[in-house]
Amino acid sequence: MTKPFASTADLAEKQVSFTEVGAGLFAYTAQGDPNSGVIVGDDCCMVIDAQATPAMAEGVIARVREVTDKPIKYVVLSHYHAVRVLGASAYKAQGIIASKGTYELIVERGEQDKASEIGRFPRLFPGAESIPPGLTWPTLTFENEMSVFLGKREVKLLHLGAGHTAGDIVAWVPDAQVMFSGDLVEYHSACYCGDAHLREWPLTLDAIREFEPQALVPGRGDALVGHGTVREAIAMTRDFVNTLYGTAELSVARGRSLKETFAAVREAMDPKFSSFAIYEHCLPFNVSRAYDEASGIDHPVIWTAERDREMWEKLQG
């Protein structure tokens, strides 16, 4: 009998924190579950990453209302994954903003990703019945860079390169030197790499580091305040990605199977990363993508519920 995904047994409720990381800048974090960011401007607010369901988004909205009564005018999607975007309708925002690359990925694989994510990690989608029919679509997209003004406060939205996905963006608040990175940076949480561009990801991390943020809100894990803590998180993320891809690349070069590569990656990564949040959940998807990329498959293969099961059975094999 094939054992289930590690995530199906992950039922523990997480403690939410709402931390101010700069003047009018907040991190909504939940012990390794997906984070959201809040930027309060002169006359309105912006939320970075919507949460997985409208019911979950109401938790973010409640925290915003504790610190301001200004309307939430914009929701920014750092990338296309269902766990980040399907709560967007709760905000009733004037604009939902994403990169052109993210829009294209929603077109290509949004339906499959939604079914795959909900099926493999159901705890992350409480109140799934509150999700409107269909997909969540950006109403405003950009190629590489755009500025949004919340009154006088400027927020720069930047596509610095591929990494976690091909369409990742960060939000940079120049007046406070604070960045919201989405899943390009994680802190004591495993990177999910199932749709990643692993060779390019470290270069994108270099671009993030060049901003020298005073604080950074990662995709998962605690809010990061201070140059040292931010640099540690970037370095830790780079180490995770490099260890994963480097081990898989060597294994593929030696003609090993996916299952053999999985064992080699576990041997290399467990000592450093097994204590990280969602590590066991991510590992099979991470190894599968690293194996593909090392085998010359540059564009990540679409995950479906069926492919999830096929991959899992190969690894259990």
Give me the pLDDT at residue 76, please: 98
Tell me if 21 sits within 8 A of 223, measured CB to CB. yes
What is the DSSP pairing of strand 95-99 with strand 178-182? unpaired
Residue 11's contacts (CB-CB under 8 Å, 6 or more residues apart) are 123
DSSP state of 175: T
Domain annotation for the chain: domains and CATH numbers: 6-316 (3.60.15.10)
Is residue 146 a contact partner of residue 189, using CB atoms and an 8 Å limit?
Answer: no
For residue 199, with 0-12 CB atoms within 10 Å meaning exposed, 13-18 middle and 19 or more buried, which class applies?
middle
Residue 213, Ramachandran bin (φ over 0: left; ψ between -120 and 50: alpha; else beta): beta
pTM: 0.95
Q: Would you give per-residue pLDDT tens digits along the chain (317 residues)?
A: 456 665 555 556 778 999 999 999 999 999 889 999 999 999 999 999 999 999 999 999 999 999 999 999 999 999 999 999 999 999 999 999 999 999 999 999 999 999 999 988 888 899 999 999 999 999 999 999 999 999 999 999 999 999 999 999 999 999 999 999 999 999 999 999 999 999 999 999 999 999 999 999 999 999 999 999 999 999 999 999 999 999 999 999 999 999 999 999 999 999 999 999 999 999 999 999 999 999 999 999 999 989 998 998 888 76
For residue 266, CA distances in Å to 62, 74, 269, 280 come to 40, 41, 5, 10
Burial of 151 (0-12, 13-18, 19+ CB in 10 A): exposed
Q: What is the pLDDT of residue 7?
A: 57
- State the pLDDT at residue 2: 56
Residue 67 is predicted with a pLDDT of: 98
Sheet holding 140-142, edge to edge: 17-22, 25-30, 33-40, 45-48, 72-76, 95-99, 140-142
Distance (Å, rounded) from C-alpha 212 to C-alpha 214? 7
Under a CB-based contact definition with an 8 Å cutoff, are residues 233 and 35 in contact? Answer: no
| Tokens standing for residue 315 | 């690894």
CA distance 120 to 115: 9
Q: How far apart are CA 33 and CA 11, in angstroms?
A: 12
- How far is 25 from 283, CA to CA, in rounded Å? 32
User: Residues of 83-120 as b/e, b for ≥16 C-beta within 10 angstroms?
Assistant: bbbbbbbbbebeebbbbebbbebbeebbebbbbbbbbb
Structure tokens that stand for 266 in this block: 């576990």
Hey, what are 117's tokens? Answer: 């994510």
Q: What is the pLDDT of residue 3?
A: 64
DSSP E strand stretches across 159-316: 170-173, 178-182, 215-218, 224-225
**Secondary structure percentages of the chain, helix, strand, coil, to 5:** 40, 20, 35
